[in-house]
Amino acid sequence: MGARSVVTMTATAIEAIDLVKTFGDLTAVDHVSFTVPEGTVLGLLGPNGAGKTTAVRMMTTLSPPTSGTARVAGYDVRTHPDQVRASMGLTGQAATVDELLTGRENLRMIADLYGLPRPRVRRVADDLLERFSLADAATKVVKEYSGGMRRRLDLAASLIATPPVLFLDEPTTGLDPRSRQELWEVLRNLVEQGTTLLLTTQYLEEADHLADRIIVIDHGTVIADGTPLQLKDASGAARIVLTVSNADDLSAAESLLRGLIPEVRVDPANRQITGSAEGLDAITRIAAGVQNLGIEIDDLGLKRPSLDDVFLNLTGHRAEPQLAATEESA
Amino acid sequence: MSTVRVHTNTDAPPRSEDPPPGGRVGAQQRAPFIRQVITLTRRNLTHIKRQPEMLSDVTIQPVMFVLLFAYVFGGSIQTNGSGYREWIMAQTMAFSAFVVAFGLSNDLTKGVIDRFRSLPINRGSVLVARSTSSLIHSSLGVIVMSLTGLIVGWRVRGSFLEALAGYALLMLFGFAMIWLGILVGSVMRSVEGVNGVIFTTIFPLTFLANTFAPSENMPHWLRVIAEWNPISSLVQAMRDLWGNGAPPPVDAQWPLHHPIIATIAWAIIFTAILAPLAMRAYVNRTRD
Ligand SMILES: Nc1ncnc2c1ncn2[C@@H]1O[C@H](COP(=O)(O)OP(=O)(O)OP(=O)(O)O)[C@@H](O)[C@H]1O
Ligand SMILES: [Mg+2]
């Protein structure tokens, strides 16, 4: 983000040092290490059960590491948990707001617990309610909030003490697109003002929008680490997807695409033909060709690699030749 | 395309240097312990305000008992001496164990405990606040009982100081029961579990006192238990202090002849045994 240029000059805000967490036989987090420079955003990307939440809980003092440790703002979570808590804000994956209090009471309670001066308690609570579009619901009991409203209140709660380090575990899950955009805006502003952010997500798009660096974890291990661009490049080019209206036109459309783009594949069940998109002008040429041939189409578009693609590529379940090469360079 | 690093898990060896003396950020402001406790107590009391039915144990229940004893059972249960008001108050206080366990268990099974644990607050403040709000809750029952009693014609016949001492013993007993509540609330994984344990153990035990039937008529072993029951000591102490009770039978166990000392001793024993167990259970429960 905006702070990218100063990365090399600033200190480390978060440091995971060989973190391990086991639950019985299961190793949920398996020797994970990384550092997050002050004022930058790290996206922790991984599928369900990858160990994202477990890692965040260890870094935020909620769960003791089986081995290894983490530092937040220079404090070790094992030896200085209280200082870590004073330096960070957390919005966990599960809601932590009090259902029987109103939105405003929730925020004021937390501000009081932080020991903010009393006039600031009121101001901070109302500011945050405003910022997260909850002002109208300020006096409503949280039990009556929608899922998205609770999520936003939870996020507001983690910002009360304007902590220098912020951990957000799947912050936009359950938010509608508008709320998601609003939250991204809030987070960008915070980062611009120097906050260090670690967020977990299952959406490549979100990591792409916010993160300076993405770490992909699976089965508790880090399987890739790079900028969003690097990760997307590594998972292959975007693909063009053409869906014809009548199955009869499939073969005509297939030969058209074969003449224009490489790696053409046909999926008769969905009346779809896909191919690698070497250049955006390929779309224009396909559109023109389809029109010339009088083929009726349902859809023509560009499909970018999803987290699924990135993930499958990285884990090798759907190995692509070029990635095998990149793995050697580790 | 060849810049993705694939980790080998060993590229960041653990370091063991000390954290920077003042930390990298300016030390954040902290709330004094008392403010934490007040804030959390207020939160607990707001819960009661939002769910007034939670107060039924200290409002409807004691009144029901009074009506039952005074008008339904009438003389068919021979109450030892004149007062079962003292017993109802003692039972209300024994119930503070339940009130604590219920509230604590509720918090522990919800995400809100993670919020508290992620804040730079004293870890004891959650427990102290829970205990404080529960004592306020149970005291309400004692107040309701006292007022109901006044209406029905009960009077405290002892001196003002003796009356106060009776209430102080009640509070002391309630304080000891809080540890039991913290223990049960921390060990049980659900509110239903808390209900189960309390209603199959504490609740019946409160009836095993010398309140309803003269203990002389019990089998010897049961009589010993009933007379050593802390509830019996507490009830006898209040009756003595408030000048309402018949003296205990001459051959009664030691606690009934020295009920005030016995009650204080019970409170100390309860606290000494239960407090360390309760703290350990709570710390274990909130460790991960
Ligand atoms: N308290 C626990 N006891 C036992 N196993 C656990 C516990 N917490 C997590 N696990 C297991 O550890 C693994 C990692 O879980 P974790 O919640 O960290 O994954 P995640 O990446 O956050 O997944 P999601 O995207 O679904 O939130 C899972 O297999 C999970 O079942
Ligand atoms: Mg998770």
The minimum-distance atom of ligand 1 relative to the CA of A24 is 4
Grade residue A130 by pLDDT with cuts at 50, 70 and 90: very high
pLDDT in the model for residue A314: 72
Closest partner residue to B3 (CB to CB) among A73, A92, A226 is: A226
How far is ligand 2, taken at its centre, from the CA of residue A114, in Å?
Answer: 26
Most confident of A15-19, A205-209, B246-250: A15-19
User: How many whole angstroms separate alpha carbon B19 and alpha carbon B38?
Assistant: 33
pLDDT in the model for residue A316: 59
Q: What is the mean pLDDT of residues B9-17?
A: 37
Which of B16, B116, B118 to mutate to probe the A interface, most A CBs <10 Å? B118
Q: What is the mean pLDDT of chain A?
A: 87
| Ligand 1 site, residue A29, Cβ cutoff 6 A | no
Q: What is the mean pLDDT of residues B29-39?
A: 92
How far is ligand 1, taken at its centre, from the CA of residue B119, in Å?
Answer: 23
Nearest to A107 by CA among A149, A62, A59: A149
| Ligand 1 site, residue A23, Cβ cutoff 6 A | yes
pLDDT in the model for residue A308: 62
User: How many whole angstroms separate alpha carbon A254 and alpha carbon A271?
Assistant: 11
Grade residue B208 by pLDDT with cuts at 50, 70 and 90: confident
Which residues in chain A touch residue B45, judged by CB atoms under 8 angstroms apart? Answer: none
Q: How far is CA B81 from CA A33, B85, B104, B213, in A?
A: 73, 11, 38, 10
Q: What is the mean pLDDT of residues A87-103?
A: 95
Task: Tell me the three state secondary structure of residue A243.
Answer: strand
Tell me the pTM.
0.81
Which amino acid does the sequence have at B182? I
pLDDT of A157-187, one tens digit each? 999 999 999 999 999 988 889 889 989 999 9
| Ligand 1 site, residue A292, Cβ cutoff 6 A | no
> By the CB < 8 Å criterion, does A147 face chain B?
no
pLDDT in the model for residue A325: 35
Grade residue B19 by pLDDT with cuts at 50, 70 and 90: very low
**Minimal C-alpha gap between A287 and chain B (Å):** 30
**Full DSSP string of A137-154:** GTTSBGGGS-HHHHHHHH
Element (H, E) at A290: helix A281-293
User: How many whole angstroms separate alpha carbon A35 and alpha carbon B12?
Assistant: 9
Grade residue A131 by pLDDT with cuts at 50, 70 and 90: very high
Structural domain boundaries in chain B: 32-66+80-285
State yes or no: pLDDT of B206 exceeds 60.
yes
pLDDT of B151-190, one tens digit each? 877 777 878 898 899 999 999 999 999 999 999 999 999 9
Q: Which domains does chain A have, with CATH numbers?
A: 12-233 (3.40.50.300), 237-304 (3.30.70.100)
Contact A110/B119, CB-based, under 8 Å? yes
pLDDT in the model for residue B61: 83
> 125-144 in A: which are within 8 Å (CB) of B?
141
Grade residue B264 by pLDDT with cuts at 50, 70 and 90: very high
C-beta of residue B202 within 8 angstroms of C-beta of residue B94? yes
Q: How far is CA A60 from CA A132, A177, B288, in A?
A: 24, 28, 11
Among A163-177, A284-298, B140-154, the range scoring the smallest mean pLDDT is: B140-154
ipTM of the complex: 0.82
Look at strands A26-37 and A75-76 and give their pairing. unpaired
State yes or no: pLDDT of B250 exceeds 90.
no
Among A30-34, A230-234, B15-19, B91-95, the range scoring the smallest mean pLDDT is: B15-19
pLDDT in the model for residue A143: 95
State yes or no: pLDDT of B20 exceeds 70.
no
Among A1-10, A275-284, B150-159, B250-259, the range scoring the smallest mean pLDDT is: A1-10
pLDDT in the model for residue A228: 82
State yes or no: pLDDT of A240 exceeds 90.
no
> By the CB < 8 Å criterion, does A26 face chain B?
no
Task: Provide the percentage of residues in chain A whose pLDDT is more than 90.
Answer: 61
Q: What is the mean pLDDT of residues B122-137?
A: 93
Give backbone dihedrals phi and psi of A285, rounded to 5 degrees, phi first. -70, -35
Q: What is the mean pLDDT of residues A45-51?
A: 89
pLDDT of B210-248, one tens digit each? 666 666 777 888 888 888 889 888 888 888 888 877 777
